[in-house]
Chain A
Amino acid sequence: MLRTLILKELRAILASPKFAATFGVCSILMLLSVFIGIREYRTAVRQYDEALELAAQSLRTQPSWMGLTTTTYRAPDPMQIFIPGVSNDVGRLSGINGSEDVKLKNSTYADDTIYALFRSIDFSFIVQVVLSLFAVLFTYDAINGEREGGTLQLTFSNPVPRSTYILAKLAGSWLALAVPLLVPVLLAVLLVMLYGIPFGPDDWGRFGFFLVISLLFFTFFISLGVFISTLTQRPATSFLVSLAAWVTLVLIVPRLAVMAAGVADPVPSVAETEAGVDAFSKDRWDGQMKEMEARWQTRQEAMHGMSKEEREAYGREKEKEWSADDEAGRVSVQKDIDAFAVRVNEDLRNRKSHQEQLAFGFARVSPASAYQLASMSLAGTGVSLKSRYEDAMREYRTAFTRYVDRKQKETGGQGGFRITVDSRTGFHFSAPRERGTLDVGDLPSFVPPVTRFGETASGAVIDAGLLAGFSLMAFAGSFLAFLRYDVR
């Protein structure tokens, strides 16, 4: 019985123009999005490789170890083909040096503003917005449409259990909508393989889980459509209610949640925080300048009464000691500023994290938000992308500056070239490295943080559970409502 009813439902949907429209639109959108995604990913990989080469070249050609700086880049992730998340909004690179904190800058949208104008249509967006809308379109008249056409009364003039009928309705709609999702998905996978995108087992695992949550997501909208159809008598009413529910869940709740969290837990802006760090930094460097002046005075006083030759000899003798004192002062100030910046940034991040959790908590009332959060978490392109990279880059900065300090001490070089002024012989230039390049062979290299299936899946499990819960609730609602439905 169930099989017969499912096949009847499936046949009716597959022969309808709405199936053809859904299939056509979903196929075009998904293949277009994957094609654009592959193109952008390949461009990003090419740029990334070029940028790494440039950074390495820049390191080799710098005049000395003193003040050596480099740049680290965010590595493109193949999962961004399907779910770019915030990857186009977050900066691609950060400078690494001893005096500045790590900060990701030069996002794709900032570099090429035309892409920001229309944003990207990714796979998750298509499922979240388009497929859910089609799910509503498939099911808004599932029950009341049959009632209005008189076929519901006709069906129940036979010994058909209501539970079997509603199950068949849900299963038939679900299978019919799974086709427009799964066929383009298979073609997209083929495209990914044809273009030779490096998808490892972890990536396939993440992609598989992403498909599962996509199916869970549209299961909810199918169940919701059937539920609303069983609560209303006329298809026009159920369509209106379904559309209002879709707009509320997909468009309003996620934005409202962010606004509510912003009001409930305000966080100082990045500009305010940076201004605080800058003020502290300026204060400390001013203090350092005063200390240096005081040291200079002391040194001058120590040389008081000496002849010119004696002063020069004394200066030469003390040069290393003075230089070490000044350097120790500089290092101490930089350490204080770094520690202050770390404290302030950590505080800001904690508050932001709290605000984000609050916003996500509110937003999870909507299955659309739960789906978006789960998919971005799986792809590693969620809001944590920035902090994940900045943390890794900060760690690298510590290793890099430590290495540079050690190298500088080993080579004893104070700078790129030294200018000596002598009142009799004039100016003399000397460079520790007139020719050749710095040997940066043992320089620690930046390793981009890897997003493993296990980690990302555990982050997405809560949202996947929520989606399953929402679907179950909508299914139970439609089941119970239909048991009491007046089929006349």
Chain B
Amino acid sequence: MLLGCVMLPLLGVPLSPDEWTRLALIVAAGILYFGAFLTIGIAVSAMTVRSSSAFLGLLVFWIFAVLILPRSAILIAGRAVDVPSLDDINAKKFRYSEQLFAEDRQKMAGFTPSKSGDMRKMVEEFQKFMGAIGDERQKKMDDFSGRLNEERANRQAVQSTVALGIARVSPSVSFSLAATTLAGTSLSMKDRYLQAARGYQQTFGKFMLDKTGMNSGGGMVFRIRTGDAEKPAPIDTHELPAFVDRPAMLADVLPPALTDLALLALCIMVFFAVAHAAFRRYDLR
């Protein structure tokens, strides 16, 4: 493990002090996990007479802890909490979007400019009209999508809580969760990134609105050009706000990881107590 840590800077992987601390905690979690299996081994050894029986018992325990329990927990959680599939959600979104667009097409067909004759003003008026109905449609769609996504995310969260709650009976799950949480690669990684991307979407949208006076990505733009028109200068993209994906920090990941670290410590204590009690009554002959 230490050699692996030494290799990181040598292979050009720079780690910040925060990351070194998290790595140290992952190593600590590994030691706790190792300790848990060590005490389980001693406990089983103290409870059996033959080494082959102890080995067999431990192998069966290992298979249950590492292979059977985690998957069974997910199976039980899947049965207990029904999460709609993404295809279900997309189907609902699609139907609603179609409904909104059909309504807007009626409005478009009924559009009449107030001032006929002045082409430029008519186009401006039309753009304003299209922008308004586009914004309204987008808002309705965003609200609807938001509700569906939130409902799915909530159900997924409940399902995860149930699954992980059951699976944490296994020390290997506790270790796996502690390590991935500390590394910032746990289940919450996707949500964290999505949250950052959504935040950036709003910043970007506001920037575009300030810059162009219209929402990006929607509506349509009429560009009236004549032959002698001056070619527009290329845009300066340096002004664009940059997307920053804030990495997981120690302060964020430590509290959720503490539960699993505590569970591993508890596992050591419980099995040490079992080993202690079993050995006190052990027949030494």
**Bound CA–CA A300/B227 (angstroms):** 7
Contacts of B71 in A (CB 8 A): 32-33, 36, 118, 120-121
Interface string of A102-128 (1 = CB under 8 A from B): 000010000111110110110000000
- Most chain A CB inside 10 Å of its own CB: which residue of B64, B90, B118: B90
Which of A29, A35, A112, A421 interacts with B68 by CB under 8 Å? Answer: A29
The count of chain A contact residues (Cβ–Cβ below 8 Å) is 45
Residues of chain B with a CB closer than 8 A to A417's CB: 105, 108
What CA separation (Å) do A130 and B59 show in the bound complex?
10
A58 near B: Cβ within 8 Å? yes
Given A115-B74, A118-B74, A427-B122; A18-B108 close (CB under 8 Å)? no
**Complexed CA–CA distance, A117 and B53 (Å):** 32
Say which size band chain B's interface belongs to.
35 or more
Chain B neighbourhood of A297, CB < 8 A: 227
In the assembled complex, the CB of A173 is this many whole angstroms from the nearest CB of chain B, namely 16
- A47, B87: Cβ atoms under 8 Å? yes
Contact across chains for B159 and A423 when beta carbons are under 8 A apart: no
Q: A36-B75, A112-B83 are in contact. Are A426 and B116 (CB under 8 A)?
A: yes
- Is B123 in the interface zone, CB < 8 Å from A? yes
Q: Which of A194-244 contact B (CB under 8 A)?
A: none
CA–CA, A50 and B113, complex, Å: 43
Question: Are A424's CB and B111's CB within 8 A?
Answer: no
Residue of A21, A111, A113, A114 with most chain B CB atoms under a 10 A cut-off: A114
A393 at the interface (CB under 8 A from B): no
CB contact list, B99-125 vs A, under 8 A = 105, 108-109, 111-113, 116-119, 122-123
The distance in angstroms between the C-alpha atoms of A112 and B187, with both chains bound, is 10
A61: interface (CB < 8 Å): yes
Whether A166 sits at the interface, judged by CB under 8 Å, is no
Return chain A residues, CB-CB under 8 Å to B90: 54
Given contacts A25-B63, A137-B55, 9 further A-B contacts (CB under 8 A): A29-B63, A32-B72, A114-B74, A118-B173, A121-B71, A423-B116, A423-B119, A425-B116, A426-B116
Which of B's residues lie within 8 Å of A, judged by CB? Answer: 52-53, 55-57, 59-60, 63-64, 67-68, 70-72, 74-75, 77-78, 83, 85-88, 90-91, 94, 98, 105, 108-109, 111-113, 116-119, 122-123, 126, 156, 159-160, 163, 167, 173, 176, 180, 186-187, 190, 227
The 29 sampled A-B contact pairs (Cβ below 8 Å) are A18-B52, A25-B64, A29-B67, A32-B72, A32-B75, A33-B71, A36-B71, A39-B78, A47-B87, A113-B187, A113-B190, A114-B160, A117-B70, A117-B176, A117-B180, A118-B70, A118-B74, A118-B167, A130-B67, A137-B56, A417-B108, A421-B123, A423-B116, A423-B118, A424-B116, A427-B111, A427-B126, A429-B111, A431-B105
